[in-house]
Structures are given as structure tokens and as C-alpha cells.
Structure 1
Amino acid sequence: MNNTGTIKLTSLSSKGGCGCKIGPADLRQVLQTLPPAANNPNLLVGLDTSDDAGVYKLSDDIAIVQTLDFFTPIVDDPYSFGQIAAANAISDVYAMGGKPITALNIVAFPIADLDKQILADILRGAGDKLKEADVTLVGGHSIDDKEPKFGLAVTGTIHPDKVRTNSGAKPGDVLILTKPIGVGILTTSIKRGLLNESEISQVTNVMSTLNKTAAETMDGYDVHASTDVTGFGLLGHASEMAKGSDVEIRIFNRQVPVMSRVKELAENGAVPGGTKNNFNYLKQDVTYHETMNQNDQWILCDAVTSGGLLAAVAKSDAEKLLAELKSKNVDAHVIGEVIDGNNGHITVEE
């Protein structure tokens, strides 16, 4: 699968593993120092929430959705890395309920040290994924950097009245997740040479799968809140939803889909630093069932790249939506519920 000869792209990252975001605690400390954004009635979603993308109203019928994401290589195959980066960046638009339309490449690459074909393959992978999403590449920017990084800025459109945020969950809602978790532990394991080719292909396929089908299917249902599961992990993003919606969320650990070998690898120490940062950040906000050990808890906090959508759906629509998602080959599962109680808190049941 590695088209880079003797070079492993993941070995060129000083961080390695999941290509994680800055941890939530550090990020919050930085953002708290910034002045509040200017009050603009057309800014429907901005910095004052923990949503996946910004939304700006252009007219009564149209708003634009804007997002940006990039990271260091998490797989060694450059084409696959490009596909994963594109799917990950586009996902924020899907999470908000929007239709992605254009993208800009963001490139950092050691052009004098690595074969230029590697960069060409990264861009080709991203380009093919953009075509699959019906997104038009309109340009980009590149710098010469000793550590490769790649991502995209994506713009989408949405009706101003149909924006999905992570702050609309209601007591009685059912939580649906559309991809399995454990990606951070698996990509850390790739860097350590612990996965075979079949296992690498499996996790690569999960990360490079667009959330397009899941998002478009949800359009016909009563979805009260939505987010995609990425660097802050399943519980990190669920916590943002609970706090933003002023509700309590209950997660059923046995119902959360976890990729194969994740627990075994976690037990053998392949837990990325980003995952542990997420767990530590959430200590005051999550109550775990007494039967869950440390590895079980870390897995629920695992720092994900290009994860699935987490949606709070009206109970009356949940069963039908789940069936339709599965009929369209979306690996969707009911993993929890929204309740009245200790608002902003998460309880994990066995």
C-alpha cells in the first residue's frame, strides 16, 4: 500500500499517530484571551459556539458554510492521505447540514527532500475525493516545510433556516453514530508497525468514506443536533452537544461501534497523547460505569480523524432513520439518548 518506497510518511511527523488537533484544554485557554467577535446579525454560527463550521447569511434563502482542516500524515500511502484529508475537511459542512461546493488546498511539503510524486499523489487523492463529493477545487496555497501537512478549506451552502448545530438536542432524543471509533489508536499503531495491510486498508476506508450519504439521508428526518466526531473524540464532541443544548447525555458503551483490535492495541499501549488529553479534559464532565477500565474509557475519548456524524434525532424518527442509513450501507448505530438531568454531563452506562 505504501507507494513512497523506503519513506514512510507517518515517520516524518513529529507528533505522529492521529494528526490530532490542539487539545481542548489548551485551545480553550487560548481562545479565552481573544476579544468577542463583532456583533453581526448575518453571522449565524461563529466563534462563540463549539460547532464544526461557521455559517454566514447572504440572503433570506442562502447562507455559506465555511470550514478549514489540515494535519500531518496518518497513513503512509500518499494517495490515501489525500483522500482522508479531503473527506475530513468536507465533513464539517455535512455536519452542519450544508452542501459543500468549493475547496482550496492547503499544502506544507519538504519539496527538496521528498519525491515530488508524493505530493502529486496526495493532491490526486484529494481531487478524486472532491469529485466524489461534487466539490470544485478552486485553488490553494503551498509552503516549503520540513514536516508534510495537508488539508483543505471548504465552502458550502445552506438555507439559513435549516442549519444543524450541536446545540439543539432535546430530552427524549436518540443518539445515532454513523462510523465506528478507535481510529486514533489504529493510526498510532500504523506508525508503530502494529497493523497488517488488511487492517490498514480497513481503517483507511473508514477515514476516507464521505459523510455525504449519512448527511443527505438525515435531511428527511427530525434531527435536532448534529456534529462530526473528530479530534476531541466521541465523548468530547458529545460533551459539546450536551453543554450547548443544556441537556444530559447517556451513552451505552456496549452499543458504541469500535473497530477491530482497538481494545487489544490500547491494552498494549498504543493510545495517542491526544486521546489521553481528551480524557483528562473531560474528567469532571463524564461519569463512567464502575465496570469500565481505563482502556474502555480512553477508547470513548479516542482522538478521531474523519469520523462519523453524531446526531440527536427525535425518538419518533430514530428507528426509521437508522434503517434507511443501514440500507444505504452507512454503518450507523444507536449509541445513547438525551435526557433531563445533570445538564452538560455525560453518563456512560455499560
Structure 2
Amino acid sequence: MRDLPPVKDDRIISTWASGEDAALWIIDQKRLGILTLDFITPIVDNPRKWGEIAACNSISDVFAMGGRPIVALNIVGFPVKKLDIEVLRQVLEGGYAKVREAGAFLVGGHSVEDDEPKYGLAVYGEVSRDHPWQVIGSMPEDALILTKPVGTGVIATGIKADMIEDPMGPEEAIRWMTTLNNVPLVLPQHLLDEVHACTDVTGFGLIGHALDMLSTKELNLCLGLHNVPLLPGVIELAESGLVPAGTYNNRIQYENSVVEIETLQEERVDMLYDAQTSGGLLLSVHKDHVPAVIAALKEAGFEKTECIGYFKKGQGQIEIVHNV
């Protein structure tokens, strides 16, 4: 994308060049438009659950910008000659259910025949012009809050390898991946106004997306390794060698911007780089408001929400310690 000419228009607030989760532009004096799309290959065997996960994953970018989804379109690639069309029907039912749960409308879409199944959504939403959430905006007095546990990449690898004995790990992973990141719809307004920056945790892992929040190179993030909530069984799976390629790739890409201040367990550090599907939100909030935000999120169903770090003046690095 870097070779394409940059978009220049006073109405455009964010594009691919600014590292934001979605396109953001001015509609009128009160509203900003949000437009995003995402699609994934199957991550679970259950077609409906795959549809739910893909929909939650796609809608997440609207929530990550503080917005409310309004309308969505299906994006489908499906091998009609290899799989029963009933499978696709279940996938679409799962996606439809999550779009409606998010308060939006599913109004059609587009499909192509494809040897590898793919499903996702293009989503349009809106947010108040007074206070959109963006990736950058954190300040030195801010703490970092994470709303969902990490480890879905390792769990998915364990499922494919048929090496998960305790079903709790996959069950919890599916539960969280099918949980909408509807934080802007459940936080009280006075707490919404205290969010200075936000992004969601997906394919680049917790580290990669947290680094986006430091892209101005004016802050460092002190990250507490043991403060990060994990899915059940992921450490044991990592100790068995079930660390997906995406996790290793993320580590190679980002480790030059990461400093391990203390001696840390390697497998637990791997979880910080684990590529997530439909992961949680990272919220930058002034430290004085952290207890109220966490309490409100836990009451709204995000019971694994934790404060995992704090921002300070720096040069765009993540410093990992045992606890913060």
C-alpha cells in the first residue's frame, strides 16, 4: 500500500497510512463515519460458531474506534463443489446473529467460489465527532486495560493437532471469540470520555497492536507479563511446542522494539506475540479512572478484564516486567 498515492482530503481523518483500525471520515458537524472489512478462514469445525467468530472479528474495528455499527455486508468465499451448501447456511446464520446482537443490519453481500472457505463482513458504523477513539492518543499518566484473555492462536493449533485433553481451553476460546467487543455500548458515557486511545488485539498479537499505540515514538509501555489474562491450558500447550507460525513471525517482526527487563518464562512471553482472532480491546485510560472502567466492564460481562501496563515517556518501546 505504501506505493499508492496518499489520500488527501480535509474530510478524511484516517486511512491505511495512519495505522488505524478502520477508515474514519467527517460526515457532518456531529458525526464521523467508520468503514472496515475483515474475513477469515475457518478457525473451528462448527460452521455456525465460525460465522459468529468471523462476524465479531469484523465488527470489532468499529467498536475499537468508539463507534456503533449500523450496517454490514457478507464477504464469502466457498467451495460449492466440495462442501454442502448447508454448511454455508449455518455460517451465514452465525454471522447474522452477531450482527443483530451488535444492533446493526445485515443487508446482503457478495460471494465467490473458492477452494478455501472464507467468511467475514464489511461494516459501516458511526461515532460522535466529539470523541472518536483512535490508536494513538495515550498519555504518560495512562494505564493499559485488556478486555479478553489471549491465547486463541495456540488453542487453534492445539485443536488442529488433536492435542488438547481438557475441553475447557477450546470452550473458553470460542466463548471469548464469539463475544462482541461492544465496549462503547456498555460503558457509561462519563467513562467513555476517559478513554484516550484504543485498538483491538488480532493477528499481530498483543505486542504488535500495543506497539501501534506507541507509533508516535513519544511513549514507552511497561507491560506486566503476569497481569495479562490467558486462556486455560495455553502455557502447557506452548511448553509442548504447539506455538503457531504466526506467533513466531510476530516475535521476529517486533522483538527489536521489546525489552525484557527481568528474567521471564519463555512460553508466557510467547503468548504476548500470539496471533489472536477476535481478541479483546486495549484501552488507554488515565490511572485514576482504571478501577471504575474495570468494574463497569466486568459487570458488562468482560470478567477477565485486567490492567496490564502503564505508559510513560519514552521512544516507542515495550518494557516487559513480571507485574505492574
**183, 207, 212: which one pairs with 2:182?**
212
The CA distance in 2 between the partners of 1:94 and 1:250, in whole Å, is: 25
The CA distance in 2 between the partners of 1:258 and 1:47, in whole Å, is: 30
Give the direction of change, closer, same or farther, for the CA distance of 1:279–1:90 in structure 2 (3 Å limit): same
SS state of the match for residue 283, structure 1? helix
The CA distance in 1 between the partners of 2:17 and 2:183, in whole Å, is: 29
The CA distance in 1 between the partners of 2:189 and 2:205, in whole Å, is: 24
Deviation at 1:161, TM superposition (A): 2.5
The CA distance in 1 between the partners of 2:92 and 2:218, in whole Å, is: 41
Deviations 1:122-149 (A, max 9, x none): 0001111111111101110001111101
The CA distance in 2 between the partners of 1:294 and 1:109, in whole Å, is: 39
SS state of the match for residue 232, structure 2? coil
The CA distance in 2 between the partners of 1:243 and 1:72, in whole Å, is: 29
The CA distance in 1 between the partners of 2:248 and 2:184, in whole Å, is: 29
The count of aligned residue pairs is 318
Give the direction of change, closer, same or farther, for the CA distance of 1:52–1:130 in structure 2 (3 Å limit): same
Which residue is equivalent to 2:15? 46
**306, 310, 318: which one pairs with 2:278?**
306
**151, 156, 163: which one pairs with 1:194?**
163
The CA distance in 2 between the partners of 1:218 and 1:255, in whole Å, is: 25
1:201 maps to a residue whose letter is: E
1:340 maps to a residue whose letter is: K
**In the alignment, structure 1 residue 37 sits paired with structure 2 residue 19:** no
The CA distance in 2 between the partners of 1:74 and 1:172, in whole Å, is: 38
SS state of the match for residue 231, structure 1? coil
The CA distance in 2 between the partners of 1:219 and 1:85, in whole Å, is: 28
**In the alignment, structure 1 residue 203 sits paired with structure 2 residue 176:** no
Q: TM-score, normalised by structure 1?
A: 0.88
Q: TM-score, normalised by structure 2?
A: 0.95
**In the alignment, structure 1 residue 170 sits paired with structure 2 residue 142:** no
1:42 maps to a residue whose letter is: R
The CA distance in 1 between the partners of 2:184 and 2:159, in whole Å, is: 27
**63, 80, 105: which one pairs with 2:74?**
105
SS state of the match for residue 307, structure 1? coil
1:117 maps to a residue whose letter is: E
Identity of aligned residues (%): 40
The CA distance in 2 between the partners of 1:335 and 1:207, in whole Å, is: 20
1:329 maps to a residue whose letter is: G
Deviation at 1:62, TM superposition (A): 1.3
Equivalences for residues 46-195 of structure 1 within 5 A: 46-195=15-164
1:339 maps to a residue whose letter is: K
Deviation at 1:38, TM superposition (A): 2.6
Which residue is equivalent to 2:242? 270
Which residue is equivalent to 1:260? 232
Deviation at 1:318, TM superposition (A): 1.0
* Farther-moved stretch of structure 1 (56-65 vs 211-220): 211-220
Contact in 2 for aligned 1:174/1:313 (Cα 8 Å): yes
The CA distance in 1 between the partners of 2:218 and 2:68, in whole Å, is: 28
Give the direction of change, closer, same or farther, for the CA distance of 1:311–1:213 in structure 2 (3 Å limit): closer
Deviations 1:199-218 (A, max 9, x none): 32221111000011466416
The CA distance in 1 between the partners of 2:231 and 2:189, in whole Å, is: 27
Contact in 1 for aligned 2:25/2:34 (Cα 8 Å): yes
Structure 2 unaligned blocks of 5 or more: none
Deviation at 1:197, TM superposition (A): 4.2
State the 4+ residue runs in structure 1 displaced beyond 4 angstroms: none
Contact in 2 for aligned 1:214/1:309 (Cα 8 Å): no
Deviation at 1:160, TM superposition (A): 2.1
Which residue is equivalent to 2:288? 316
State the Cα RMSD in Å.
1.4
* Farther-moved stretch of structure 1 (187-196 vs 97-106): 187-196
Deviation at 1:162, TM superposition (A): 1.4
Give the direction of change, closer, same or farther, for the CA distance of 1:182–1:271 in structure 2 (3 Å limit): same
Which residue is equivalent to 1:336? 309
**In the alignment, structure 1 residue 325 sits paired with structure 2 residue 297:** yes
Deviation at 1:219, TM superposition (A): 4.3
The CA distance in 1 between the partners of 2:87 and 2:281, in whole Å, is: 30
The CA distance in 1 between the partners of 2:156 and 2:95, in whole Å, is: 19
**In the alignment, structure 1 residue 250 sits paired with structure 2 residue 242:** no
2:26 maps to a residue whose letter is: K
